[in-house]
Amino acid sequence: MSITITVSNQKGGVGKTTTSAALASGISLVGKKVLGIDLDPQGNLGFCLGAGMANQFTVLDVLKGTVPVQDALVETDYGDLLVSDISLSSSGLERIPSDREYILRNAIKPIVQNYDYIIIDTPPALNLLTVNAYSVSDHLIIPMASDILSLVGLAQLKETIESVRDTFNPGLNVLGILLTRFNARTLLSRDVLEMAEQLAAQIDTKVFQSRIRTGVAIAEAPAHGESIFSYNPRSSAVQDYLAFLNEIAPAIHLKEVSHNG
């Protein structure tokens, strides 16, 4: 039985894709079979996981039912991947007459049993793609940059989560809020942490003890075709992501992760 984790925030630039890639590559380090699904039209998850740019089919082909999901899978060093591109931004999925919120669930149903974990990267919006991700997920992780603007809109995210729980997926669990670009020495980061904890309480979750500092290795690793864990395991930000993986490991039934596997 696979465990599906969605990484989501309607604000861009908060570390969604980096967090999704860290989850996929980190979980693969302990020998688990991982499927990554990129629902962001920017298509950066494939780049972060070394999928390359010239892929014959994308997740949109699968969602539209024009290509079997098995034919669209891209193999990477960190598991299989359903890639995305800009065509997803005008998908036309809203015109599907029924069960629109279950398009993703129905599309991947033939292969779900092949994986231990499914990681979904979502667009910076609360749209039909996001709702599809929530509807198929066991857990939700909300990355949030350590700035005031990142707090804006979390009330709307709360409403979406509650709506999905009430209508499509009553078992959706919010694992927590992950603070990124965190600097404990600044008053701003400390203020954001305090406000994030208040917001977390409103959606019955927590702010993770692990907080992600800024690190150049996070940005450099994809350009070198490596995961953050193999590229520079000594980086403070990479160590933060490793701590984060081990913090959530008990909740997602995963053994301890190390950069050596």
pLDDT, tens digit, for every residue of 38-95? 999 999 999 999 887 667 899 999 999 999 999 999 999 999 999 999 999 887 888 8
Distance set, CA 189 to CA 17, 97, 201, 245 (Å): 21, 45, 18, 22
Does residue 248 have a pLDDT over 90?
yes
Average pLDDT of span 166-171? 96
Residue 158's pLDDT band (boundaries 50, 70, 90)?
A: confident
Give the Cα separation of 124 and 130 in Å (integer).
Answer: 9
Q: How many CB atoms lie within 10 A of CB 245?
A: 23
The residues, ordered by sequence, that sit 6+ positions from 238 with a Cβ below 8 Å of its Cβ are 215, 217, 218, 228, 229, 231, 232, 259
Model confidence at 259: pLDDT above 70 = no
pTM of the model: 0.96
